[in-house]
Chain A
Amino acid sequence: MFGRKPKSILTFKSDTINYDQVSDLLAKLWQLLEEKGLENAEVKQIYSVVTEMLENIYRYSDTIKTKDNDSLMLSVFETKSKHYQIVLRNPAETDKATKLKEKIEFVNSLTKIGLKKLYQYEIVRRKDENHSGAGLGLIIIARKTIEPLKIELQKFNDNITLITLTAFMQI
């Protein structure tokens, strides 16, 4: 799959996360990418996708206890020069996980122009409007990635599913 062994540049594993940890991870990511010599605009592309992913798990993830304390997981890999793979895992109620999968399949089905239109619709849409949207964060991620977002669902127990989301980026 990869031309060389993907190199992990940032990893986080835990069963819980607070906003200070989110901020620390993002600050560390920015610093690591800068140290690699990336331009600010390139750093921001990756930072933006990771921010949306981390904020999503901070706000919406369910909390479960696992033996290895790793139900929440974020990994940023450099697969080859300027190619990055971001993997996020989090637990969620099974019906929410299924809905997320449907949203991702919908977002993945859109063309670049379709994504732009959906993005513009979502920034104007108010929360109290009568249906849930695709999720602005998800659209932002999809607009910055080079391949469709990959989602895998794994049953944890009768109510909880582990979601693994993978984004592929080329900067």
Chain B
Amino acid sequence: MLEIQLYRMMKPFKIEPTNVSPKIFYDIKKHHFEIGGFSRMENVRAFYQDFFDWFDKNKAEILSTINPSTKLHIELHLIYFNSASLKCFLDILLQFKKLYSTNDGKGSLYNIEVFWYFEEGDEDMIEVGEDYSDVIEIPFTFVESKSK
């Protein structure tokens, strides 16, 4: 029974992409989160709510896998996202920031590395990433990919 529970807990969260909605992948075991594609759904909040609900439900289990040396690896491979999605991405990043933080007595340390992928020449995408990085106060690594 315990093994089954552990297996269920370790099973990654996964949503497949469509033409208007992104792929979301979170492997708790590997501490790897990925989101990519388009995010322009009719009801953006309802779409992301599935992830937020799952996250809330499994928060205790996720926390049990985190120790001070655990580092969350986040990859954002976004093509296009609308203004409503911007707030949802921020909420996801803030949830992770809270979860993967430790306090060394002098202040909080955030054990997160964020890789922001952008297509060659896409200055707007870089700017959005820089804005996010400023707002959540975590440095991003910007990775250029070749334009198709």
Interface residues of chain A, those whose CB is within 8 Å of chain B, are 19, 23, 26-27, 39-41, 44-45, 47-48, 51-52, 55, 116, 119-120, 123-124, 136-137, 140, 144
Question: Smallest CB–CB gap between B44 and chain A, Å?
Answer: 10
Q: Indicate whether B64 reaches chain A with its CB closer than 8 angstroms.
A: no
The 6 A-B residue pairs with the shortest CB-CB distance, nearest first, are A41-B122, A136-B83, A19-B42, A137-B83, A41-B121, A123-B86
Contact B135 A44 (CB under 8 A): no
Query: Does B124 sit at the interface, judged by CB under 8 A?
Result: yes
Q: How far is the CA of A126 from the CA of B87 in the complex (A)?
A: 9
Report whether B121 and A39 are in contact in the complex, using a CB–CB cutoff of 8 Å: yes
Report yes or no: B119 in contact with A51, Cβ–Cβ below 8 A: no
How near does chain A come to B20, taking the closest CB pair, in angstroms?
Answer: 7
The residues of A that contact B83 with a CB separation of less than 8 Å are: 52, 55, 136-137, 140
Interface of A is mostly: helix
- Measured between beta carbons, the chain B residues less than 8 angstroms from A44 are 79-80, 122, 124-125
B123 within 8 A of A: yes
Contact A116–B82 (Cβ < 8 Å): no
Q: Which residue of A19, A40, A47, A120 is within 8 Å of B131 (Cβ)?
A: A120
**Given known contacts A23-B20, A40-B122, A44-B124, is B80 in contact with A116 (CB within 8 Å)?**
no
Can you list 10 residue pairs at the A/B interface with Cβ under 8 Å? A40-B122, A41-B124, A41-B125, A44-B79, A52-B82, A55-B83, A55-B84, A123-B90, A136-B87, A137-B83
Cβ–Cβ contact A40 & B148, under 8 A = yes
Tell whether, in the assembled complex, residue A119 and residue B124 are in contact, meaning their CB atoms are under 8 Å apart. Answer: no
Query: Chain A nearest CB: distance from B82 CB in Å?
Result: 6
Within B44-100, the residues touching A (CB, 8 Å) are 79-80, 82-84, 86-87, 90
User: In the complex the two chains form, is B80's CB within 8 Å of A123's CB?
Assistant: no
Does B20 lie within 8 Å of A51, measured CB to CB?
Answer: no
Please give, as numbers and ranges, the residues of chain A lying within 8 Å of B132 by CB-CB distance. Answer: 123
